[in-house]
Structure 1
Amino acid sequence: MTRQHLSRTRRSAIAGAAALAVVAGVGGAAPVAGAATAPGPKLNLIAASTSVTLDRWEGSDGVYLELGTYLTVDGGPLEFQVTRKSYKDPVIARQIIRDGKKTRTRNLPKGMVKDFSGLRGFLETTLTDASGKVVHKTTDTFCPNNASGRLRPDAPATSKYPESCPTNPFTLGSVWGVQRGWATNTTMYDYSRPVDLKAGEYTAKVSVTKKYRDLFSIPNKTRTVKVTVRRLTDDGGGAGLRSAAGHSGHTAMPGHSMPSAPAAGHAHTYLDSRGADAPVPPAAPHALASGNRSARAADGKGQTDGSRIAPALKPNAERPAGRAKVPDVPKPDLRALPAWDIAITDGEDGDIKGKDYLAFSANVWNAGPAPLVVDGFRSPGKDLMDAYQYFYDAKGRQVGYAPAGTMEWDARVGHEHWHFTDFASYRLLTADKKVAVRSGKEAFCLANTDAIDYTVKNANWHPNNTDLATACGSRGSISVREVLDVGSGDTYTQYRPGQSFEVTDFPNGTYYIEVLANPSKRLHETSLKNNVALRKVVLSGKPGARKVTVPPHQLINTP
């Protein structure tokens, strides 16, 4: 996941209430003309409760509008495929309508969907105070992918759709959906902008906007919810409650990210500060001796960017070298995305004070049709694991493996797990595409942090290791399995050590950030022709006050 950037599978306690309240909501709605005979899903907006209480903690900027409104889906699933052919092309959203064994599609109106975050302008919310004055009004995007609860006992037991909508600027394809017989929470949390409401009583009115009511034949009903905002202070047990409740008593709904410290070294969303890591320790003894985190030479010595050559693996009784011939079965296809979140910073802990650093976020993803599975095996007392890539046939049966480099233990605070050393590398290139500097990024803990394209063949809409909680082992691990599933990518943000180039004394001008997947070609892939991505940047300013301009990458204007 961006990286954006935590566990997305927790469910609010209000979802349980919704499963009870939703049933009454469906039965009480009068369908619009023609809706009863129209094929496809039957949609309705309901409120799980007539009143909610929101806590505002002393010192906070406001509250988050968790109003407990839901979109119910029955008669068939609500499903969309959202794609773009390339970064030169606009996003196209298609509704997939299933009627028994028949399936048809229809394009949503042009401009209605501009990115992969959801249906723009779907929900209108208005809050009035006790005097009837409007104190807040907003029109929000709706992400269907949060599977909040079932409507009735005979509904499908699980939702097959993804649990969130992508936020990566370089996403290529997404699937949105709500299972038939399920309800999904309509509240879209923007945790960077809480609503500034004083303690008191309010009335919230929530409705689906007209363009979506007309498009999906949703009944024209406004749901009213009484809102009580209470002010809480930190005293006694209040501090512990505040910590558990996240300042406003909210919990993350599936599909909505909350700000938090990153899990085990990745960052997925809204990191509040940089420098979460301890000072960078000296190079590990297995790193090449002449390494330099900011080496300008491209002589291949001392590489610490993930592309260094690991020592050859010697077979032994415990550690066979793998099959001589890699089996002819489906394999992963690693692809690099252009860098983003590009900025000039003063570096991370362990960097040189007073220097200018060009920081960035980067992602390598798997276009499939098979997952990347890498296992590390450790000999007792060793700081390196031998890494092997595993292969599976079309039925999922393991049919072979091959040496794939090494894994090393990263002891830095915020990491503290095993990193695979042959996954990706970063370089800053000059205008004529020659290497100017290598990144200090050494190795990677693989995780499915971002949904990049869930429309590719064999995409896994429910990858397991999305937050690194168990993905990359502990100090005492004897073996580790790291997986990059089909359709997902692994993002490291600019807030991690090594995600930058020291550019203090660089001449002003044009450069390119290069992200390179599988740099040593140790991993067996479907194709090696799509492993490089470049992002143009322009440096200006003076040492100690450098600036960077990031031109759009085709239609993507995220710097």
Structure 2
Amino acid sequence: MFARRMLASLVVSIAALPAMLGGCEPTDRLPDLRVGELYGFSVQRTASGRALLRFGTIGFNVGAGPLEARGVRTDTDSGSMLVTQRIYDSEGGHRDRRTSAVMVYDTGDNHDHWHTRQFMTVTMYRLGNPTGNVYGLRKLGYCLLDAERMSNPPPNSPDTRQYPNGSCGNRSSTSVRTGLSIGYGDDYPPQYAHQWMDVNRLPLGTYRICATVDPFGDFVESRDDNNQRWADVRVNVRAGTVQVLDTAVGRCGPNVS
């Protein structure tokens, strides 16, 4: 009798095993966007004498999965693409979600490809007075691609670029597959178009520059409390100098006191 009960119990346990294993749902491998250090600050004078504060920006993905943004439009007459985020999971599958992001074809930076609009915003205000005047605001569109790999990337960062140059399409493209692999970032150097703020009438002083990646929450991430970085700079437009005093990842901006 005892042996029969043990056998019956064993049969029930084995029969329940597939159901137990089947209850393990795949988990999303989400991206985690972070702003790299702003760099290459300089005051540039244009031919007309206008003063521009130039700087470089880079948005890295330090998450457990890629940020993949797929753009699509119905035909070549449409000037924009709707954007879907593809999210990969722990079992090798994926799911797609429609975002509020928009891609536009941009020729203003001489790249002539599709950009995700307002992927990063940069503001500048007097240090210690975030609710005061905003002296500069830039809304930067990005073609998301693996331009640069981090020197110390997170685990599972691929050795080769998964979103290479050319991912952002051309004028005739009706769909594109762009993104940032784990441990990679898209770099926009100071000399690129739009990488500046007009400081022609900026008073001498110390300012906080606040950069925010994915400012409108278009993409799902594992966390979004690290999407901002600030840099404190002392700017003297007349002398044509800018000095970086400090920088860190942290909350900043006109709405942060």
Do both share a fold (TM > 0.5)? yes
Number of the residue aligned with 2:205:
509
- Counterpart CA distance in 2 for 1:446 and 1:332 is 13
User: Offset at 1:338?
Assistant: 2.5
2-side partners of 1:386 and 1:411: how far apart?
19
Partner of 1:354: 49
**Shift of the alpha carbon at 1:412?**
3.3
- Equivalent in 96, 102, 105 of residue 409 of structure 1: 105
Please give the alpha-carbon distance, in whole angstroms, between the structure 2 residues aligned to 1:446 and 1:510: 32
- Cα distance 1:465–1:390, how it changes in 2: closer, same or farther (>3 A)? closer
CA distance in 1, matches of 2:122, 2:200: 18
Q: Secondary structure at the match of 2:241?
A: strand
Aligned to 1:344: 43
Distance 1:382 1:541, change over 3 A: closer
Question: Partner residue of 1:433?
Answer: 130
From 155, 167, 192, the equivalent of 1:496 is 192
- The residue number in structure 1 matching 2:78 is 382
Once residues 153 and 199 of structure 2 are traced to their aligned partners in structure 1, the CA distance between those partners, rounded to angstroms, is: 39
| Alignment partner of 1:332 out of 31, 45, 49 | 31
Partner of residue 371 from structure 1, selected from 47, 59, 66: 66
User: What's the TM-score, normalizing by structure 2?
Assistant: 0.79
Which residue pairs with 1:532 in the alignment? 228
Query: Given residue 391 of structure 1, which amino acid in structure 2 is its aligned partner?
Result: I
User: What letter is aligned with 2:243?
Assistant: T
In structure 2, how many angstroms separate the alpha carbons of the residues matched to 1:396 and 1:436? 46
User: Are the structure 2 counterparts of residues 547 and 402 from structure 1 closer, same or farther at C-alpha, using a change threshold of 3 Å?
Assistant: same
In structure 2, what is the Cα distance between the partners aligned to 1:534 and 1:433?
A: 12
SS at match of 1:443: strand
Q: Distance in 2 between matches of 1:460 and 1:478?
A: 28
3-state secondary structure, aligned to 2:97: strand
How far, CA to CA, are the matches of 1:503 and 1:422 in structure 2?
21
Contact 1:339 1:513 in 2 (8 A): no
2: CA distance, partners of 1:452 / 1:414: 26
Q: How many residues align?
A: 219
Query: What is the Cα deviation at residue 414 of structure 1?
Result: 2.3
In the TM superposition, residue 552 of structure 1 has moved relative to its aligned partner by 5.2
Partner of 1:462: 160
| Cα distance between partner residues in 1 of 2:156 and 2:205 | 43
- Matched residue SS, 2:55: strand
Tell me, which stretches of 5 or more residues in structure 1 are unaligned?
1-326, 555-559
With over 3 angstroms needed to count, the CA separation of the structure-2 counterparts of 1:465 and 1:393, relative to structure 1, is closer
Rounded Cα–Cα distance in structure 2 between residues aligned with 1:422 and 1:457: 28
**Aligned amino acid, residue 126 of structure 2:** T
- Work out the CA distance in 2 between the residues paired with 1:534 and 1:502: 18
Q: How does 1:281-300 map to 2 (within 5 A)?
A: none
Match of 2:216 in 1: 520
Please report how far the alpha carbon of residue 546 of structure 1 lies from its aligned counterpart in structure 2 after TM superposition. Answer: 3.3
TM-score, normalization by structure 1: 0.37
Change (3 A) 1:385 1:541: closer
SS of the residue 1:421 aligns to: strand
Q: CA deviation at 1:422?
A: 4.2
With a CA cutoff of 8 Å and minimum separation of 6, indicate the structure with the bigger relative contact order: 2
Whether the 8 Å contact between 1:367 and 1:453 is mirrored in structure 2 is no
RMSD: 2.0
Assess if the C-alpha contact under 8 Å between 2:204 and 2:236 holds in 1: yes
2:242 is the alignment partner of 1:548: yes
CA distance in 2, matches of 1:329, 1:447: 21
- CA separation of 1:429 and 1:452: change in aligned 2, threshold 3 A: farther
Shift of 1:389: 0.7
Note the 1:65-464 alignment, pairs <5 A.
329-347=28-46, 353-380=48-75, 381-412=77-108, 414-431=110-127, 432-434=129-131, 435-439=134-138, 441-452=139-150, 454-464=152-162
Residue-by-residue CA offset, 1:128-165 (whole Å, 9 max, x unaligned): xxxxxxxxxxxxxxxxxxxxxxxxxxxxxxxxxxxxxx
2:18 aligned partner: none
CA distance in structure 2 between the aligned counterparts of 1:526 and 1:390, rounded to whole angstroms: 14
**Cα pair 1:338 1:515 within 8 Å, conserved:** no
| Structure with the larger strand share | 2
Change (3 A) 1:489 1:497: same
Q: Residue 486 in 1 paired to residue 182 in 2?
A: yes
Question: Residues 344-377 of structure 1: CA distance to partner in whole angstroms, max 9, x if unpaired?
Answer: 0125xxxx83111110001110001010000001
Specify the code of the residue in structure 2 equivalent to 1:458: N
| Matched letter for residue 344 of structure 1 | V
- Rounded Cα–Cα distance in structure 2 between residues aligned with 1:394 and 1:383: 36
Identical counterparts, % of pairs: 26
Whole-Å separation in 1 of the counterparts to 2:144 and 2:101: 14
